[in-house]
Amino acid sequence: MSVRTPDPNPGWLSEEDLYEARRRLPMVYVEALPVRLDALGYVSEIGLLYLADGGGHLRRTFVSGRVMYRETVRAALMRHLEKDLGPLALPQLPPSITPFTVAEYFPSPSETGLTDDRQHVVSLAYLVPVTGECQPRGDALELTWLTPEEALSDAIQAEFIGGRGNLVRQALAHVGWGR
C-alpha cells in the first residue's frame, strides 16, 4: 500500500487539461452582479467591472468564474466575489442559492446572444448585495457603481463583453425594476 500526498489544489486543471476540457465539455460558472440596496431593499446601484479585453478595448463585465470540482456553488460565489471585489466587499449571499437565471454561453453566435470565444459555459447568475468597500483585483481596472437607469443606457450596454448586458436587464426584471 502506498501513501500519496494529497493534491493541494484538487479542483484545478493544468492549462493543457483545461484547454481539452473546454473543447469537449460545457464548463459550469457562477456570475454575480454586485448591488447596493436602498433602505427598503430595492436595487439602487449595480457594480460593474471595467477591464481591457484581448484587443485592448475597455469593456464592462461582472464577477464571473468557474466552479471547481468538489466546490459548492456558495463557495465558488464567495471565492470569485472576494477575488474580483477584494476581501472587504462584504457580500451578503442569500440563504437559498437560487440564481435569477441560468445563462448559456457558446463559442460562436447562438440563439442565447451570449458568447465566450474559449468555451461552452452554463452559468448560474446571481444578484448579490454588497455592503463593504470594493477594491477590484485581478484583471479589473475599476468597479463602477451605476444606477439601474445608467446600467441600462445604450452607451453602457454597448460596452459589455459577450452579450452580458442582457443579463443586467434580466437581473433588474427579476427584482421588479422597470421604472
In angstroms, rounded to a whole number, what is the distance separating the alpha carbons of residues 80 and 67? 9
In angstroms, rounded to a whole number, what is the distance separating the alpha carbons of residues 135 and 13? 28
Q: Give the closest residue to 142 by CA, choosing from 58, 82, 68.
A: 58
Amino acid 57 reads: H
Band of residue 18 on the pLDDT scale cut at 50, 70, 90: confident
Residue 169 pLDDT: 94
- Domains defined for the chain, CATH in brackets: 33-174 (3.90.79.10)
Per-residue pLDDT tens over the stretch 30-44 = 999 999 999 999 999
Per-residue pLDDT tens over the stretch 138-157 = 788 899 999 999 999 999 99
Instruction: For residue 125, give every residue at least 6 positions away whose Cβ sits within 8 Å of its Cβ, in sequence order, or none.
Output: 30, 31, 32, 33, 99, 100, 101, 102, 103, 167, 170, 171
Per-residue pLDDT tens over the stretch 87-99 = 999 999 989 999 9
Band of residue 2 on the pLDDT scale cut at 50, 70, 90: very low
Mean per-residue pLDDT, 71-89: 95
**What's the mean pLDDT when you consider all of the chain?**
89
- DSSP letter at 25? S
Q: How far is CA 93 from the centre of its chain?
A: 14
Q: Mark residue 105 as left, alpha or beta (left: phi above 0; alpha: psi -120 to 50; beta: remaining).
A: beta
Residue 13 pLDDT: 74
pTM: 0.85
